[in-house]
Amino acid sequence: MNLIQHFIDGKVFTGSSDRKGKIFNPATGKQESAVLLGSKSDLDLAVEKAKIAFGTWSNVPAIQRARIIFKFKELIEKNSDELTKLIVSEHGKVYEDAKGSLTRGLEVVEFACGIPQMLKGEFTENVGTNIDSWSTRQPLGVCAGITPFNFPAMVPMWMFPMAIACGNTFVLKPSEKDPSCAMKLAHLFKEAGLPDGVFNIVNGDKEVVDAILQNKDIPAVSFVGSTPIAKYIYENAAKNEKRVQALGGAKNHCVVMPDCDLDQAVNGLMGAAYGSAGERCMAQSVAVAVGNIGDDLVDQISKKVESLKVGPGMDKTSEMGPLVTKEHLERVKGYVDLGVKEGAKLVVDGRDIKLQGYENGYYIGGCLFDYVTKDMRIYKEEIFGPVLSVVRVNNFDEALQLINDHEFGNGTSIYTRDGDAGRTFANKIKVGMVGINIPIPVPVAYHSFGGWKRSLFGDQHMHGPEGVRFYTKLKTITSRWPSGVRSNPEFIMPVMK
Could you say which residues in the range 416-475 bind ligand NAD, by CB under 6 A?
451, 455
For ligand NAD, which is the closer residue by CB, 226 or 240? 226
Q: Name the segment binding ligand NAD (CB under 6 A); options: 3-11, 144-152, 236-244, 293-301.
A: 144-152
- The answer to whether 240 contacts ligand NAD (rule: CB under 6 A) is no
Q: Which of 113, 143, 281, 367 does the annotation list as catalytic?
A: 281
Residue 417 CB, shortest distance to ligand NAD, in Å, is 30
Instruction: Please list every residue from 384 through 413 that binds ligand NAD, using CB under 6 A.
Output: 384, 410
CB distance 497 to 128 below 8 Å: yes
The smaller minimum CB distance to ligand NAD, of residues 155 and 290, is found at 155
Nearest distance in Å: CB 177, ligand NAD: 7
Of the listed pieces 75-83, 146-154, 252-260, 422-430, which binds ligand NAD according to CB under 6 A?
146-154
Q: Is 323 in the site for ligand NAD (CB under 6 A)?
A: no
Q: Given the complex with ligand NAD, which of 169 and 325 has the nearer CB atom?
A: 325
Question: Which of 69, 281 has the CB closer to ligand NAD?
Answer: 281
Stretch 159-198: interaction string toward ligand NAD, x if CB under 6 A? --------------x-xx----------------------
Asked about 181 being catalytic, the answer comes back as no
**Contact pick of 25, 33, 39, 150 for ligand NAD (by CB under 6 A):** 150
Distance between CA 353 and CA 337 in Å, rounded?
A: 15
Given CA atoms 413, 415, 419, 424 in this order, what sign does their dihedral have? negative
What is the spatial distance between Cα 122 and Cα 137, in angstroms, rounded to a whole number?
10
Nearest alpha carbon to residue 274 among 305, 306, 302: 305
- Residue 70 or 446 with smaller CB distance to ligand NAD: 446
Of 274-303, binders to ligand NAD (CB under 6 A) are 281
Give the residue with the Cβ less far from ligand NAD, 247 or 367: 247
Q: How many CB atoms lie under 10 A from the CB of residue 432? A: 22
Q: Identify the residue among 38, 92, 145, 225 touching ligand NAD (CB under 6 A).
A: 225
Binding mask 349-388 for ligand NAD (x = CB under 6 A): ---------------------------------x-x----
Question: Cβ 249 to ligand NAD, closest distance in Å?
Answer: 3
Whether 95 and 83 have beta carbons less than 8 Å apart is answered as: no
Least distance from ligand NAD to the Cβ atom of residue 307, Å: 27
Count, residues in the chain: 497
Q: Of the candidates 69, 198, 221, 250, which one interacts with ligand NAD according to CB under 6 A? A: 250
Please, which residue, 25 or 222, has the CB nearer to ligand NAD?
A: 222
Pick the closer one to ligand NAD by CB: 86 or 289: 86
CB-nearer residue toward ligand NAD: 112 or 224: 224
Task: Return the range that interacts with ligand NAD (CB under 6 A); candidates 6-14, 68-76, 163-171, 245-253.
Answer: 245-253
Site for ligand NAD (CB under 6 A): how many residues? 27
d(CA 227, CA 214): 20
Binder of ligand NAD out of 46, 118, 201, 229 (CB under 6 A): 229
262 in Cβ contact with 300 (< 8 Å):
yes
**Amino acid making up residue 153:** A
Tell me the closest approach of the beta carbon of residue 158 to ligand NAD, in angstroms: 8
205 binds ligand NAD, rule: CB under 6 A: yes
Q: How far is the CB of 336 from ligand NAD (least distance, A)?
A: 18
Q: Give the residues lining the site for ligand NAD (CB under 6 A).
A: 146-151, 155, 173, 175-176, 205-206, 209, 224-226, 229, 247-250, 281, 382, 384, 410, 451, 455
Q: Which residues are catalytic?
A: 281
